[in-house]
Chain A
């Protein structure tokens, strides 16, 4: 516990959201959200369906830009730089990668899936450099040993857990600073889930990871910090250990213990 607390003291906020409001037309979907997400940590966003946690996640890499009638107000900064309106979303998404609920590899070879991002961002000049990025990304995603002899086979032919790790390899291939994950294990079996969770824990040291999950146990196992969303508001944030042993708010307690009506 003291280790966690000292980690909390030294944690550096990478992403800072201040008074973030999101409207879908007239609907006020996110209300005055303040949240710091630290580098070297996994921040878990929990809450019942429709509470705004995915909406918030999508604000962090401008995914809401694509939704008609959606309006984002307030300030979100990445290393102090405003990302709500100031930056080019394409460049931003190279810095902030995303992994989705269902593994969604491109219908291309394993190699091309991982090489896709580096190619469009022009991150390398020679084939050897690209090979190196693809291999190191697959290694970091814990997938290389399983696929090294069939790099040219189609990515969608892998198992669910392998596909999700392929998507993680694809996300880290462009060397992002932040990785957003929207229920990355909900379509996976327990073994594949454990593998992906172990991977996330390993990646944590090098990235800022923000994860939306419906699994209380996954949030408890995986994250250092937890934010509980309810009806578009952040009800409580804190160290995960505190949230799951002694939450301050009655609503948080009701939700995590399964008493929510």
Chain B
């Protein structure tokens, strides 16, 4: 794709501002998710509170990125790769904002969980969190480096997230059936697992945008999925 500068320098500046906002959001979202999982694993309420409070920074950046998109569309009427650049920025900013929300929700629940007895499922949950955290980091790298192959690779690997999530779902049901006192903490853990799984889905959206930005085509074919929890019967 063309990477030469535009004749009108201020156009490049406007695109640079937008890219900076989305990149910053990516760094923050990734950081928030990492810290939320850490707070959960360590039962660290102080860290969890920091995560909850910091979510507003991502929200503010998203609002600023939205404004910048409107400005660029109205003033520059971008086409071709410039248009894809602006549209994918908008959609990735939206995905990152949601990821930030999920991370904050994980942190909130971890504060509640730390006041309850430890449930063994925290370890596999942490593993799921690390997997998704890693995929998010790679998706953002694929976007930054305009690497369509890498984006596609990460996109396909969401299958692993689904597999781990389905396993966790069964495991948590088992604990709840074993002892009804586990129901409250396990319900929180189930929501956390779902939040992480949703972050995985938003990560695949980022991959799709990175792929579209680079190639000009949408990713073809259905994404491999392995979430069996939606059809799971209690027996």
Contact = CB atoms under 8 A, between A and B. Distances in A.
Given A245-B79, A246-B80, A257 B216 contact: no
Contacts of A199: none
Most buried by B among A246, A247, A256, A259: A259
Given A246-B216, A246-B217, A259 B79 contact: no
Interface residues of B, number: 18
Given A245-B216, A246-B216, A246-B217, A217 B4 contact: no
B117 interface: no
A257 B77 contact: no
B77 A256 contact: no
Contact of B79 (A250, A257, A260, A261): A257
B160 interface: no
Contacts of B7: 258-261
A217 B2 contact: no
Given A246-B216, A246-B217, A256 B80 contact: yes
Most buried by B among A244, A246, A256: A246
Contact of A244 (B5, B6, B79): B79
A258 B2 contact: no
A181 B83 CA distance: 28
A244 B83 CA distance: 9
B8 interface: yes
A254 B83 CA distance: 13
Interface in B191-206: none
Given A245-B216, A246-B216, A259 B78 contact: no
B59 interface: no
Contacts of B175: none
Contacts of B84: 245-246
Interface string B56-88: 000000000000000000000111111110000
B6 A259 contact: yes
A216 interface: yes
B4 A256 contact: no
B80 A253 contact: yes
Given A253-B1, A254-B2, A258-B7, A217 B78 contact: no
Contact of B82 (A220, A257, A261): A257
Contacts of A217: 77
Nearest to B216: A246
Contact of A247 (B5, B11, B78, B80): B80
Contact of A261 (B4, B78, B216): B4
The B contact surface, by secondary structure, is loop
A220 B4 CA distance: 22
Nearest to B83: A245
Contact of A259 (B5, B83, B216, B217): B5
Interface string A224-261: 00000000000000000000111100100110111111
A79 B48 CA distance: 75
B4 A254 contact: yes
Nearest to B82: A257
A198 to B, nearest CB: 19
Contact of B80 (A245, A260, A261): A245
Interface in B208-229: 216-217
Contact of A253 (B2, B5, B8, B217): B2
A257 B2 contact: yes
Contacts of B6: 257-259
Contacts of B2: 250, 253-254, 257, 259
B81 A253 contact: yes
Contacts of B78: 257
Interface string A183-195: 0000000000000
26 contacts: A216-B79, A217-B77, A220-B79, A245-B79, A245-B80, A245-B83, A245-B216, A247-B80, A250-B2, A253-B1, A253-B81, A254-B4, A256-B79, A256-B80, A257-B2, A257-B6, A257-B79, A257-B80, A257-B81, A258-B6, A258-B7, A258-B8, A258-B11, A259-B2, A259-B6, A261-B7
Nearest 3 CB-CB pairings of A with B: A246-B216, A259-B4, A244-B79
Interface of B: 1-2, 4-8, 11, 77-84, 216-217
Given A254-B4, A259-B5, A261-B7, 11 more contacts: A216-B79, A220-B79, A244-B80, A245-B84, A247-B80, A253-B81, A256-B79, A257-B81, A258-B7, A259-B6, A261-B4
